[in-house]
Structure 1
């Protein structure tokens, strides 16, 4: 889990509900100071056990470039409810949700789509389905397929423990002690507990299965025709940095490594991350307009 930089909303950021034919999604929205969005909007999708708050530190800087920026909780995450049906939490089903949200956020304009970690696997399905009007695609700290390394081991352990012990047990006996040992402030630990326990239990299990078994679809994605950015921390402990770099080569995508960051660049290096995203989005936007 990542730790949001702020527990209160920065100026210019507000709470929203995005109403779609597939349901209502909790969101945070940032607008330029003057309230006028002159550039195409962006939609940010969090990872497994994450939420819209993982993007708090970059929402305002991204909006100041002249665009509306929206971050959501996916179905079953934190403040977006979800059903007790595992089929609702496949990457394909969640990707359809994202497409529906993108249509509302875009209001007829193309949308810059970003997926963080597991959110990258979900948003990849949105791109491949081709049902959303997109301006660009960013994979942040995500990979070509199922997660590997230390986070894979943690995921399999959680998957084994969740059905038997429940999420309260996992929080009290694994995640909270880890946060305390890492020196996470008490108020943020309280938020992380509240967020985790708000997740739909069926969704947590089903999403874990998805992130641990996702196929490599990079070759398909390479044919999507969008400008793609692969962005990750130099010390990423999710998908290894070298694997993400290789994915960028296979995609013929721009690749940005965020110095000092681990698995959550938007939290760990917000200024650098926001600058990289704004530059990429502005360039992709100009190219798309030029192509007509």
Structure 2
């Protein structure tokens, strides 16, 4: 549009210049056309005088102003795009940090830094996220949800609510109810309140005769991965407890494919059972009974 207006202005100026060079003098007009020439003389004066030059100058200034406005708009858009990219890059960098903290939180005892990381992850969960960003936040949220620390579970609960998912139950509630279940089953001598917090890689030990079954509880909002199984295997190998003949992994959502395959690497037999809060004890009883048989 701007180029078209400029072209029209140029054509008008060229045309008027040509008229000025070839225009007739008043003395050469025929007498019959004298009145017509006089009536149109103001058009000629306007077209050859400073008035039109002023109009053309204003038109040129207007075109320059419009062009400048477009340049400013393009520059502003470019700056906004650059700012958007920088903001998105910073978002991903912060998310990566929360991922590292989430992984470390499964091994570290101090909850304070982990809770801070959860709060930062919560602040990253904004309304304008892409589907990819939402999936990334949800994935890290689930890692925090595996924590055994009640402070971390309390901190991550608002994120679960934002995603419309039930928050993971406290590990201690899960542990307490499973302990009650084992006591009701009375399948052997029960040792409890062990676990990583007490210097071993499992939570309970059920002994009957020469057989003993180590039991590991794993809280998670998704199937357990291979790392948890390898950690259990390592604990069984290095454990000071004598005569551990088998192990049982208890989790609300079972093991993933890789974790299930890694069970074969254990020097002792390992089984896994899915058990949720309030669920019947049948599968747990069946698995422990089978493992105690050797």
Higher strand share: 1
Who wins on radius of gyration, i.e. which is larger? 2
Which structure's relative contact order is higher, taking Cα pairs within 8 Å and 6+ residues apart? 1
The TM-score, its normalising length taken from structure 1, stands at 0.29
TM-score by length of structure 2 reads 0.29
